Amino acid sequence: MCWIHLLVLLAPAIWQVDSHNATAYKELLAKLNDSEYYDAGLRPNITGDAVAVEIDLVLNSVGPVQEMDMTWTASFYLRQEWVDDRLVIGPGAGRVKMDGSHISEFWVPDVFFSNNKDGRKHHLTVDNHLLYVNGTNGRILYSQRLTVVSNCEMDLIKFPHDSQTCDIKLESYSFTTDDLTLGWSTSRSATSLLPTAYIPDFAIDDVSVSDCSATYAIGTYPCLKATVHMRREIGYYIFQTYLPSVLIVILSWASFWIDHEAVPARISVGLLTVLTITTQLSGSRSQLPRVPYIKAIDVWMSTNLVFVFAAYMEYAVVTVLSRRYKKKKMKDARNLPLDDSQELSVIQIHLADSTEKSTTENGGPVANGSSPTFQIRRPSSPSSPLPVLDSTDTGRRLDKRSRFMFPLVFAVFNVTYWTYYLAIA
Ligand SMILES: *[C@@H]1O[C@H](CO)[C@@H](O)[C@H](O)[C@H]1NC(C)=O
Ligand SMILES: *[C@@H]1O[C@H](CO)[C@@H](O)[C@H](O)[C@H]1NC(C)=O
Ligand SMILES: *[C@@H]1O[C@H](CO)[C@@H](O)[C@H](O)[C@H]1NC(C)=O
Ligand SMILES: *[C@@H]1O[C@H](CO)[C@@H](O)[C@H](O)[C@H]1NC(C)=O
């Protein structure tokens, strides 16, 4: 980067060496003023070869990149060089710096950005452009500071772990390759990035250049393309999206430690986490276009929604299970268990005289007759275990299991997600 910086700093110094030759400047103005001799409507070497324009770009800011309308903004210095032999002054003339107000009197290439949506020249405090003429050989350097908003087809399938390539395309509007050719600079690097370049949400991996001359029905038009390879900085999304949603998922597990009898507490934890994730999900989508495929951020947010939803549903299951358990317990307390599959011995005790009256096998309400009775139930053999529902509240047990199952599954999901998007994709 340092040598680019040096070049940029040194360039104006070199240009200024000869730019104070007032005689040469006056001679040049006289040439421009002579409409017989110089016509800005005619390209240089009109009877000869196509004029060769050499171009280089110095990027001084990249961004913002707008995913919503798939555009990106780039600010750069566009420098064009060509030879106009009509403007040769003499051997000793050297470089002549033209005043900004005279630039419109020169022939300049009609380069435009074929993929741009919008753009502007900078006018503060004066028009940000310069033109130097080398009076010795008629070589012209024309530099402008531009900000261009261009279309950029983006593939957001890996968003926000994505890389994007966006183009700046320069074409000549009216000249075919018979009259004008565009080429990347041979004396300077075709594209360079200012060390102070402002690039907020991306890291620039590379800027590659190519020729994109295209043949249309009315001829072959010269075209140059600079492709900026950008890698999105994940940092913003870590703090804006990933960390908050992880915390909310963890918060949803807090309900497993809250007693299931505490209905308002568990309902509010469940509802709040589901609602918060839903809000985050729509928030993460609001700045992205409606693309037909699933983005990485969608995978993340939807899975988190499923996690908090599952934690909420777990409570529903716990409620049902423990209600069932309570009913059973109550039934056990005042009635006979009527399970045909269990061999039970029932001892009926007559209260009136406290003597054993009858014993029935295989259940069935036996409380008949007029005398008040109560039943004692016990397993057919003393060693056989009690039925599960009688000894444990399965709802409570589900809570206990969820306490480590949910974090485990979430950890597995995280490992899968991050390895897939950071290493594989
Ligand atoms: C330009 O040409 C006109 C005559 O055509 C003359 O009056 C004027 O002074 C010239 N200006 C310069 C700067 O030479
Ligand atoms: C103009 O064109 C001729 C060929 O027709 C070529 O020899 C000459 O170098 C060209 N001049 C410039 C300045 O490009
Ligand atoms: C200025 O340019 C003229 C040619 O137009 C040249 O003869 C003269 O030597 C130059 N003067 C200086 C100081 O370079
Ligand atoms: C102007 O052109 C001459 C002849 O090609 C060259 O020697 C000189 O270095 C050029 N001036 C600058 C400032 O590049």
112-116, 145-149, 174-178, 333-337: the lowest-pLDDT one: 333-337
Rounded Cα distance between 122 and 129, Å, is: 8
Using the atom order of ligand 3, give the atom closest to the CA of residue 91. 4
Token pair 């012209």 in the structure block, residue: 140
The torsion angles phi and psi of 368, rounded to 5 degrees, stand at: -115, 180
For atom 3 of ligand 2, which residue has the closest CA? 48
Q: Residue whose CA is closest, atom 5 of ligand 3? A: 24
Torsion, Cα of 152, 157, 162, 167 (10° steps): -20
Tell me the pLDDT tens digit for each residue of 176-197: 999 999 999 999 999 998 988 8
How far is ligand 3, taken at its centre, from the CA of residue 21, in Å?
A: 6
* Of residues 186, 222, 229, 228, the one with CA closest to residue 112: 222
Q: What is the pLDDT of residue 404?
A: 94
Task: For residue 34, report the distance from its CA to the centre of ligand 1, in Å.
Answer: 8
Of all atoms in ligand 1, which is nearest to the CA of residue 33? Answer: 1
Provide φ and ψ at 144, rounded to 5°.
-135, 150
Residue 38 pLDDT greater than 70, yes or no:
yes
Q: Which amino acid is at 3?
A: W
Mutate to test the pocket of ligand 1, among 25, 28, 33, 105 (most ligand atoms within 8 A of CB): 33
Sorted by where each begins, the domain ranges of the chain are: 33-233, 236-333+389-424
Q: Which CATH architecture has domain 236-333+389-424?
A: Up-down Bundle (1.20)
pLDDT confidence tier of residue 200, bands split at 50, 70 and 90? confident
- The predicted-structure confidence for 157-167, as pLDDT tens digits, reads as follows 999 999 999 99
Query: What CATH architecture does domain 33-233 belong to?
Result: Distorted Sandwich (2.70)
Distances (CA, A) of 267 to 263, 314, 399: 6, 11, 14
Per-residue pLDDT tens over the stretch 320-357: 999 999 999 999 888 765 554 444 444 343 443 444 44
Question: For residue 151, what are the contacts with CB-CB under 8 A and spacing of at least 6?
Answer: 70, 71, 115, 116, 117
Give dist(CA 362, CA 53) in Å, integer.
104
Please state the pTM of the whole predicted model.
0.79
Distance (Å, rounded) from C-alpha 181 to C-alpha 110? Answer: 11
Q: How far apart are CA 373 and CA 328, in angstroms?
A: 21
Look at residue 364 in the predicted model and tell me its pLDDT: 45
- Of 129, 112, 119, the closest CA to residue 175 belongs to 112
Express each pLDDT in 268-298 by its tens digit: 999 999 999 999 999 999 989 999 999 999 9
Q: Which residues pair with 211 in a beta bridge?
A: 224
Question: What Rg, from alpha-carbon coordinates, does the chain have?
Answer: 41
Q: Which atom of ligand 1 is nearest to the CA of 30?
A: 14
In total, the chain counts a number of residues equal to 425
**Over the range 268-302, which residues count as b (16 or more CB within 10 Å of their CB) and which as e?**
ebbeebbebbeebbeebeeebeeeeeebbbbebbe
What residue ranges line ligand 3, CB within 6 angstroms?
21, 23-24, 27, 89-90, 92-94
